[in-house]
Amino acid sequence: MESMQDKIVNFYLNYQVPLLTLSLIGLYAYIWWAYENFKSILQIVKALLSPYFLPNENKSLSEKYGKWAVITGSTDGIGKQYAIGLAKQGLNVVLISRTESKLKEVANEIESMYSVKTKYIAADFGSGKEIYEEIKQKLQMLDIGILVNNVGRMYDFPDDLDNVPEDLLWQIININVGAVTMMSRMVIPQMKVNRRGIIVNISSGSECQPTPLMTVYASTKAYVRNFSLALNKELEEHNVQVQLVTPLFVQTKMNNFSTYVMKGNILMPDVESYTKFAVFTLGKSSQTTGYWSHGLQYGAMRLCPEFIRTIISLSMNRGFREEYYAQQKILNNNNNSDIVAKISN
């Protein structure tokens, strides 16, 4: 006859041990899920606290990486604010963008504010392969420690793939994929020799899921994500870092199709506020949303399965498209009224 002690042991082995194992597996999965989806917030907290616990790591960016920083897409928005933020920390900056007049204006603005050197290179990244040799020649004598791959091209407004002009699609691919790849490849050899340097790649929250009506743009940002995380591991042994920055909605001209986004709120910061946080994380984390409220949004988004996020993206972009059409209708009506008024006069 089975004793009470044997019954207890058998019950524990038959039920409690499997339940405990499942609980441990669930705890393990939850911890890693929480880390993956909220690590941007954790890394911002780490960056804030590191000067108190790791004072030896609290060096200036020029001490850590070198005297020169290169920023692409640097005449507007996030790129311009990165250039200003890095100059504020004492780095000389090379501005690369398409329009020479804007480059001169930003260079003069930076030099009037800070005691740093500036250089600029006018280059249209949308034109493809031929621009890179000239850029390489102009950069080869500089001690480049930081590269910010910010230049990007988005749809003019969310739309179906077959409605997007072919030339625009090539621009998006050449700029969003080509520039981040070839500019990184250009600076890596010197960084390896110097055993220091950091490449900052600006991605987008659209990397997180398939994004209908911004299909090509979102796909290029998924490339930027995988490229950055893989390259960071590839360069680790050379003491060269790659930081992936994943902003969500920021008030920049890239989002001009939506008056709602451009009005801004705590979840959609102005470009100065966003970039101030993003520059602060430079060298302190390998992957970040760049802004505290974006970190919370990113984690909340990832609570949903991918197919739900895709449906939400489609619905949101349909709303943005309708908003854009409404804006254009108002503008067209205003223009027609102006023409009628001129004819009447």
> Which residues are identified as catalytic?
217
CA distances from 214 to 150, 154, 166, 239, 323 (A): 19, 8, 14, 36, 15
Radius of gyration in angstroms for the set of CA atoms belonging to the chain, rounded to a whole number: 25
What ranges in the chain are assigned the alpha helix state H? Answer: 4-11, 17-53, 61-65, 77-88, 100-113, 132-139, 166-173, 180-194, 215-235, 259-263, 271-280, 292-301, 306-344
Structure tokens at 15: 């039920």
**Best CA proximity match to 250, nearest among 311, 215, 206, 216:** 206
User: In this structure, are residues 252 and 76 in contact, taking their beta carbons and an 8 Å threshold?
Assistant: yes
